[in-house]
Structure 1
Amino acid sequence: METLPYGSWPSPIDAALAAAHDGKPEFVGFVGDEVWWTAPRPAEGGRRTLVRRGADGTEEPVLPPPWNVRSRVIEYGGRPWDGTVVDGTPLIVFVNFADQRLYRHEPGGTPRPLTPVSAVGGGLRWAEPQLLVDRGEVWCVLEEFTGEGPTDVRRVAAAVPLDGSAAEDRDAVRELTAERHRFVTGPRLSPDGRRAAWLAWDHPRMPWDGTELLVADVSDDGRLTAPRTVAGGPEESVAQADWAADGSLLYASDRGGWWNLYRDGRPLCPREEEFAGPLWKLGQRWFAPLDSGLVAVVHGRGATALGILDPESGEVVDAAGPWGEFDATLAVHGARVVGVGAGPHGSHEVVELDTRTGRARVVGAAHRDPVDPAHYPEPRVRTFTGPGGREVHAHVYPPHHPGCVAPAGELPPYVVWAHGGPTSRSPLVLDLEIAYFTSRGIGVAEVNYGGSTGYGREYRERLREQWGVVDVEDCAAVALALADEGTADRGRLAIRGGSAGGWTTAASLTGTDVYACGTVLYPILDLTGWGTGETHDFESQYLESLVGPLAEVPGRYAERSPAEHADRITAPFLLLQGLDDVICPPVQCERFLARLRGRDVPHAYLTFEGEGHGFRRAETMVRALEAELSLYAQVFGLDPAGIPTLELGT
């Protein structure tokens, strides 16, 4: 073992390696007997392609560059593709990111547009396509801009002709329902085709606050008639609904304080754990009914497992394997279940479970160790005590290197990671960005602060009207506890986060003296601006619950905004921003920096053309990671080898 100071350990995990392994498979599905999914391509401009697994087990990308299979509905998108087999040949429909048109594709041919382009505002967008070949249609969620403003938009369920007759004709798109709600998910047909079920909600609620589960009859002319609400409400979140093979309606509701599974109003497996999560993307699936009557479920308290639920007994049997987390994407075909799983020592893989044998195996995107796994961190699941004795959940990743130790008596620097959302959660999975730091001797602590999902409705509602307070306090409680117990160096604590995590980071730097520096990625910095037209429609009234009604508590918006308190910041910081971001636009950063001008605070502001909300391009991620490490090196007195020096101005 070599004795070297923390932060100077040589690591085979460089920024390029971390960037190359960023992203994960999403939106799994069956096309005939084959498993298909979308996959990231950081080195190809950050696009997502569609991948198929052939009968011989080989993986083949279906669409070459520049095709990018990704929807922009509600900006976070949703399921962007569907497929089936017609006369022995795959038939695919998908949304292309660049123009947001829906395309039809048969492998070997050229994609053909099914929907038109609109010059109004953000145009026409589509999500959750469902191929109904017998009807000659694709049923989708249609998002249509009616003006130039980000909230000039309507959403309905619509049917797109498969024959291409709507490619240049908006009038050929058939709307399935009247415009009743601001937000809708794609309708799912009952087995007999006579009923459809979908979710809907309206401002100012977010889908994890309260949604309605609607059921309608399908008329002979293919319209959804006589819709009625069968579950949900202003304070009940139904996160997903689907039909069982026998025609009964299954749905995940948090009416009991946890997202549990119900069938026609009766709980199937009442537990204090989650069988669903926050609906950030349309088409997320935490459960999938099998023809046998069993139900595949993603469930857990904190971490999530893939299991099979017997609705009659309420028993759940989990799949065995190394995966400690499963994502909200499931597909079933006969007795086969496919999902996406990962663990603390393995990246996200496409996993198939055979419900007849109970065997689970990797069928796609198999994890391959790009370096000796001895360089991976060894995370610890911790529960800390926050203000008032409340529990704060976190994952602690101590510095780890197979060939290096620090000098006796030296404590390591630590970076607190605040996740986005904020209604979200940091999963316990292998992340080479974390390993990039821990393998060099810098600890990381991911904090699932109050407001995070996975721990019941009461835990996530701790953030109601307390954003900028509870999240900041919980992150600080973890950081200080690590220092108090001798795990971290009190003088070398940092914080970083993106989006809502960027807000928590900035609020922590302007409102506490806990951290020596921070990294702020594509953040919210000015609540008043963000809540009055500077963001997209989906989150345009999110602050009503996170902060309070603007009309009633305008002072609170100013008091908590980092942009209003730039004069309080004394710690060096790095600010990273995509110039195409419409969720947290660059104007937020520019306003903050303008108010900082004249203050002697070392900082850097890096912007990236072609990047939106969350970085997807390999070259962007490399620059951002190396800049972040350079910030910590300069502030903490570290000596990492081979890292370009970030120029800090004032």
Structure 2
Amino acid sequence: MSKKSVKSFGEWKSPITSAVTAKKACDFQDLLVDIADNGNDVVYWSEIRVNEDGRTVVVSCEVGKAEPKEWTPAGFSARTTVHEYGGGNIFVHKGTLYFSNFSDQRLYKQLTPDSTPTPVTAADTSYRYANGHMSAKTNLIYIVREDHSNIESGQAKEPTNSVICLDPSTQQEKVLACGADFYSTPKVSLDGEKICWVQWFHPSMPWYDTELWTAKLTKSGDAVIEGSAKKVAGGKDVSVMIPRWTPSGELRFISDENNWWNVYESALDGSITNIYKMDQEIGRPDWLFGNQPYDTNPSCPGEYVVSCDGLLTLMENGVKKKTFNTGFTSHLLLNFSESGKVYCCASSAIQFSTLLSISTLDGKVEILKKSQPVDIDEGYLSEFTEICYNTTDGGRSYANYYKPTNKDYEGPDDELPPLLVKAHGGPTGSTTTCLQLSVQYFTSRGFAVLDVSYRGSTGYGREYRLKLDNKWGIYDVDDCCAAAQHLVDNKLVDKNKLCIDGGSAGGYTTLACLASKDVFKAGACSYGVTDLELEANETNKFHSRYLDRLIGVYPQQRDIYIQRSPIHNVDGFNYPIIFFQGTEDKVVPPNQAQMMFDSVEKKGIPCSLIMFEGEQHGFRKSENIQTALDGELYFYSKILKFEADLPDGISDKISISNYA
């Protein structure tokens, strides 16, 4: 083994460049399985391609027989904007692909990979569609529809959501369920006689209070039998999600009635049982449609596969049958096929997202596709250690700690590394156990990274998830600061080189830390909330009442919104900040970043604002992903006074005000 070179932390050279980070072929989103005429499984998935400006392309593969085939032609992108966040972009029925197209939000069908998509919904409407499927019994599509016509006519401030059925041959639409503020996951039973869906109302979010409903369908399948609709589960203080019918007519779903998101079953007699009881969470918050952490064997009603705590487990009638060693620690988008195979998107701390096929008969694992076309030497990858630490009000919080790792370098004996604390988005969300090149970019250059699951994060039960109620801007801030101090106290990082970054809600936490605490020396905010009052008034419908729970009821508690808004606490700002923002962001409008930058700049603090033209809430274009990553490191290097290994020209893209 060659001897490592000694070089200051932050100045190490790394093969994990921003270009490598952005070069990954895609991010996987939707995953579905269909059956070919010859009986083979055909797997469909969607790829968000950063090298095509974030275009979403559908790909399919006949398992064990053919190379993957691309479906989505130039000029199309399979991406819905229901709830603005989307998800549930595609579904497949007997070899025909259906997808929502980004540019016009119409629903299209495509018969073959080489055919031209044709619309199955009417032109010149203000409808958006998501989370659909077609019933083999009724030959109708059941889908969530979001109607923006009242907004465009000025008659309402919010779109109207409903569950509809759609006849693709006539483009005729009929409403099956309406009246709630939000809907998801409409599913028709295999016999075509019943439909289920999840619904919820303002000010709730889908991880707070939701309801699972069922209804009987008419013989034609295009209407609900009057008086048959009933609530099956959920309600106040219970989050239910992701219902699935079994072949024999039972209804499975996820509920947190016992504090943890577990799998439940509603039997034919109406009784409900927790069929996989455990003090761990199955699933994650429904920011996107299409979340699927479990699935039922379509050939055997008693069997189902569950992803939990890094494991993929086969259950039968509530009893653990076997656990599969896939070599990965995260398994998402589960699909159980009639062939006995399970398909999923898997990843781990040192492995890129990969589409897998797992045989439930012999456990054989096959790779269908990797999201990243290049392999990175593990000598440059840092594996995390989960830490638990004390925080304010007698609380405990969690974080994933990544130490600086580079097989070619080590730091001087008399030097401690800089720290980058990462505040996740949501704020109802969590850190990830998946390989994040954006983290490895920093650790391979000599930074320690701490990915914090502050109070209010998911993965630790409902009680922990609700700890952020009325405490956003307090507990998340306290926990990020306490996490950094924990590493300082253990002499793992340099207390004078503490940085923090975050996107969206994590951007808000970043700003709140810098505005109210004397812990971090620099920060980076990506599309973060700066003015809570503006956020309450200007954001999309899905988000619009979220702050009622996190902050307080607006406008009755407007004073709290003012108190906790970074834009109103610039007097407390003493440390440099860089902003990254998309000009087309409808979740956190770009005026928020501009106002915050202007205020910090006016105070004389070193700061920078980078606006990415055409980007929305999250960056999809390769060149912008690179600029954001290199720009953040460049900013820290100037503020903390070290010579970072950066590509030529980055200083031309990043202008720092009030910096000499």
Normalised by the length of structure 2, the TM-score is 0.93
Structure-1 residue corresponding to 2:163: 157
Which of 242, 248, 251 is the aligned partner of 2:250? 248
Matched, 1:502 2:507: yes
* Residues 538-586 of structure 1 deviation map (CA, whole Å, 9 limit, x = unaligned): 0100001111112432211110000111222111111000001000111
After the TM superposition, which of the residue ranges 614-623 and 262-271 deviates more from structure 2? 262-271
Which of 374, 377, 381 is the aligned partner of 2:379? 374
Structure-1 residue corresponding to 2:269: none
- Cα contact 1:240–1:276 (8 A) shared by 2: no
Matched, 1:639 2:643: yes
User: What are the within-5 Å matches in structure 2 for residues 353-364 of structure 1?
Assistant: 353-364=358-369
Matched, 1:270 2:277: yes
Structure-2 residue corresponding to 1:67: 76
Which of 80, 92, 107 is the aligned partner of 1:83? 92
Could you tell me how far 1:131 is from its partner in structure 2? 2.2
Matched, 1:280 2:279: no
User: What are the within-5 Å matches in structure 2 for residues 160-175 of structure 1?
Assistant: 160-163=166-169, 165-166=170-171, 172-175=172-175
Aligned residues: 632
After the TM superposition, which of the residue ranges 457-466 and 632-641 deviates more from structure 2? 632-641
Could you tell me how far 1:134 is from its partner in structure 2? 5.1
After the TM superposition, which of the residue ranges 282-291 and 605-614 deviates more from structure 2? 282-291
After the TM superposition, which of the residue ranges 277-286 and 100-109 deviates more from structure 2? 277-286
- Cα contact 2:176–2:224 (8 A) shared by 1: yes
Could you tell me how far 1:492 is from its partner in structure 2? 0.1
User: What is the alpha-carbon distance in structure 1 between the residues aligned to residue 284 and residue 529 of structure 2?
Assistant: 23
User: What is the alpha-carbon distance in structure 1 between the residues aligned to residue 358 and residue 504 of structure 2?
Assistant: 35
Question: Which residue type is aligned with residue 160 of structure 1?
Answer: L
Which of 133, 138, 141 is the aligned partner of 1:130? 133
Structure-1 residue corresponding to 2:587: 583
Structure-2 residue corresponding to 1:604: 608
Could you tell me how far 1:22 is from its partner in structure 2? 7.4
* Residues 312-348 of structure 1 deviation map (CA, whole Å, 9 limit, x = unaligned): 43x2632212211122454533312111110011011
Which of 443, 458, 463 is the aligned partner of 2:463? 458
Structure-2 residue corresponding to 1:224: 224
User: What is the alpha-carbon distance in structure 2 between the residues aligned to residue 129 and residue 22 of structure 1?
Assistant: 27
* Residues 60-88 of structure 1 deviation map (CA, whole Å, 9 limit, x = unaligned): 22223332111111111121111132xxx
- Cα contact 2:421–2:449 (8 A) shared by 1: yes
| Cα distance change of structure 1 residues 188 and 383 upon mapping to structure 2, 3 Å threshold | same
Structure-2 residue corresponding to 1:96: 101
User: What is the alpha-carbon distance in structure 1 between the residues aligned to residue 32 and residue 615 of structure 2?
Assistant: 28
Structure-1 residue corresponding to 2:325: 320
* Residues 282-319 of structure 1 deviation map (CA, whole Å, 9 limit, x = unaligned): 2321221112124444443xx44322122243x26322
Question: Which residue type is aligned with residue 162 of structure 2?
Answer: V
Match of 2:99, SS state, is: strand
Which of 554, 558, 565 is the aligned partner of 2:558? 554
Structure-1 residue corresponding to 2:316: 310
After the TM superposition, which of the residue ranges 409-418 and 333-342 deviates more from structure 2? 333-342
Could you tell me how far 1:186 is from its partner in structure 2? 3.3
| Cα distance change of structure 1 residues 152 and 434 upon mapping to structure 2, 3 Å threshold | same
* Residues 448-484 of structure 1 deviation map (CA, whole Å, 9 limit, x = unaligned): 1111101100111110110000100001111111111
Could you tell me how far 1:626 is from its partner in structure 2? 0.9
Match of 1:641, SS state, is: coil
* Residues 231-279 of structure 1 deviation map (CA, whole Å, 9 limit, x = unaligned): 1002110022111122111111111111111112111121101122211
User: What is the alpha-carbon distance in structure 2 between the residues aligned to residue 330 and residue 366 of structure 1?
Assistant: 18
User: What is the alpha-carbon distance in structure 2 between the residues aligned to residue 295 and residue 280 of structure 1?
Assistant: 28
Could you tell me how far 1:23 is from its partner in structure 2? 4.9
Structure-2 residue corresponding to 1:46: 54
User: What is the alpha-carbon distance in structure 2 between the residues aligned to residue 366 and residue 43 of structure 1?
Assistant: 13
Could you tell me how far 1:427 is from its partner in structure 2? 1.1
Structure-1 residue corresponding to 2:19: 16
| Cα distance change of structure 1 residues 330 and 393 upon mapping to structure 2, 3 Å threshold | farther
Could you tell me how far 1:93 is from its partner in structure 2? 0.7
Question: Which residue type is aligned with residue 239 of structure 2?
Answer: S
- Cα contact 1:84–1:91 (8 A) shared by 2: yes
| Cα distance change of structure 1 residues 351 and 296 upon mapping to structure 2, 3 Å threshold | farther
After the TM superposition, which of the residue ranges 19-28 and 399-408 deviates more from structure 2? 19-28
User: What is the alpha-carbon distance in structure 1 between the residues aligned to residue 583 and residue 25 of structure 2?
Assistant: 20
Matched, 1:648 2:625: no
Question: Which residue type is aligned with residue 346 of structure 2?
Answer: G
Matched, 1:420 2:425: yes
Match of 1:224, SS state, is: coil
Question: Which residue type is aligned with residue 257 of structure 2?
Answer: R
- Cα contact 1:83–1:92 (8 A) shared by 2: yes
- Cα contact 1:139–1:186 (8 A) shared by 2: no
Structure-1 residue corresponding to 2:623: 619
| Cα distance change of structure 1 residues 22 and 484 upon mapping to structure 2, 3 Å threshold | farther
User: What is the alpha-carbon distance in structure 1 between the residues aligned to residue 24 and residue 372 of structure 2?
Assistant: 10
User: What is the alpha-carbon distance in structure 1 between the residues aligned to residue 638 and residue 201 of structure 2?
Assistant: 48
| Cα distance change of structure 1 residues 57 and 452 upon mapping to structure 2, 3 Å threshold | farther
- Cα contact 2:295–2:334 (8 A) shared by 1: no
User: What is the alpha-carbon distance in structure 2 between the residues aligned to residue 637 and residue 232 of structure 1?
Assistant: 54
| Cα distance change of structure 1 residues 633 and 507 upon mapping to structure 2, 3 Å threshold | same
| Cα distance change of structure 1 residues 627 and 523 upon mapping to structure 2, 3 Å threshold | same
| Cα distance change of structure 1 residues 339 and 295 upon mapping to structure 2, 3 Å threshold | farther
Unaligned stretches of 5+ residues in structure 2: 36-40, 267-271
| Cα distance change of structure 1 residues 615 and 331 upon mapping to structure 2, 3 Å threshold | farther
Matched, 1:542 2:550: no
Could you tell me how far 1:367 is from its partner in structure 2? 5.6
- Cα contact 1:326–1:342 (8 A) shared by 2: yes
Match of 2:442, SS state, is: helix
- Cα contact 1:28–1:331 (8 A) shared by 2: no
Question: Which residue type is aligned with residue 316 of structure 2?
Answer: D
- Cα contact 1:331–1:337 (8 A) shared by 2: yes
Structure-2 residue corresponding to 1:188: 187
- Cα contact 1:185–1:283 (8 A) shared by 2: no
Structure-1 residue corresponding to 2:38: none
User: What is the alpha-carbon distance in structure 2 between the residues aligned to residue 278 and residue 153 of structure 1?
Assistant: 22
Which of 408, 411, 416 is the aligned partner of 2:416? 411
User: What is the alpha-carbon distance in structure 2 between the residues aligned to residue 312 and residue 572 of structure 1?
Assistant: 54
- Cα contact 1:418–1:496 (8 A) shared by 2: yes
- Cα contact 1:274–1:299 (8 A) shared by 2: no
Match of 1:371, SS state, is: coil
Q: CA RMSD in A?
A: 1.7
Structure-1 residue corresponding to 2:197: 198
User: What is the alpha-carbon distance in structure 2 between the residues aligned to residue 418 and residue 143 of structure 1?
Assistant: 31
Question: Which residue type is aligned with residue 180 of structure 1?
Answer: G
Identity of aligned residues (%): 30
Question: Which residue type is aligned with residue 293 of structure 2?
Answer: W
Matched, 1:442 2:447: yes
User: What is the alpha-carbon distance in structure 2 between the residues aligned to residue 251 and residue 316 of structure 1?
Assistant: 20
- Cα contact 1:184–1:200 (8 A) shared by 2: yes
User: What is the alpha-carbon distance in structure 1 between the residues aligned to residue 482 and residue 366 of structure 2?
Assistant: 40
Structure-2 residue corresponding to 1:169: none
User: What is the alpha-carbon distance in structure 2 between the residues aligned to residue 57 and residue 374 of structure 1?
Assistant: 35
| Cα distance change of structure 1 residues 331 and 282 upon mapping to structure 2, 3 Å threshold | farther
Normalised by the length of structure 1, the TM-score is 0.94
User: What is the alpha-carbon distance in structure 1 between the residues aligned to residue 276 and residue 16 of structure 2?
Assistant: 43
Structure-2 residue corresponding to 1:235: 237
